[in-house]
Chains A and B, each alone.
Chain A
Amino acid sequence: AQSVTQLDSHVSVSEGTPVLLRCNYSSSYSPSLFWYVQHPNKGLQLLLKYTSAATLVKGINGFEAEFKKSETSFHLTKPSAHMSDAAEYFCVVSDAGGADGLTFGKGTHLIIQP
């Protein structure tokens, strides 16, 4: 069985400061891990994914995430927040199992203060 825990339901940062959104996972297999972003009243858009290649993954809009197997973590970071980053972020795990294999975290709401 697989599961995802997003450690913060809300994160508030000032524009121009770093962003850290935390995610821990559990998986019986070698997992694939994703971060998706959802802007208000929009669908989900892929930010980045890890699929057992490089452990540091770069995504769109300056985001990156590091896969740490020993810590079962996949935290999302960005060096400098922009107002347009305000959105809901979902950490998602997919193990090597069947077609229904995506498990979503509950989401982290990122607030950007001017």
Chain B
Amino acid sequence: NAGVTQTPKFRILKIGQSMTLQCTQDMNHNYMYWYRQDPGMGLKLIYYSVGAGITDKGEVPNGYNVSRSTTEDFPLRLELAAPSQTSVYFCASSYSARGGYEQYFGPGTRLTVT
């Protein structure tokens, strides 16, 4: 059981380039999330999805886009990379958002924009 997988593990982008961070889960969870983690900070929610075809903005959505065409996949798109997007990105999934269901996290993608 792979859980939540993310690719790539590391990436260096030049300013203005674009890329897609991939996230896949095999637990048949409806809820999926993208977070960023900056040094000395907790995780900040970028976007989330409550099911295929449904996405919504989190706390820090500017500069990012998402799509959710299947239950398993939830890619995060950076269109015009900026140095402020240098961060570690985590994808997560959960069975539900209520009742204390935990979120399962992927291993993260470390992105540097120079």
Interface residues of A (CB under 8 A from B): 4, 9, 32, 34, 36, 41-46, 49-52, 90, 94, 96, 98-102, 104-107
Contact = CB atoms under 8 A, between A and B. Distances in A.
Nearest to B107: A43
B105 A43 contact: yes
Interface residues of B, number: 26
A94 B42 CA distance: 14
A102 B103 contact: yes
Contacts of B45: 100, 102
Contacts of A99: 31, 48, 50, 56, 97
Given A43-B107, A44-B105, A104 B56 contact: no
Contacts of A104: 42-44
Interface string B41-58: 111110010100000101
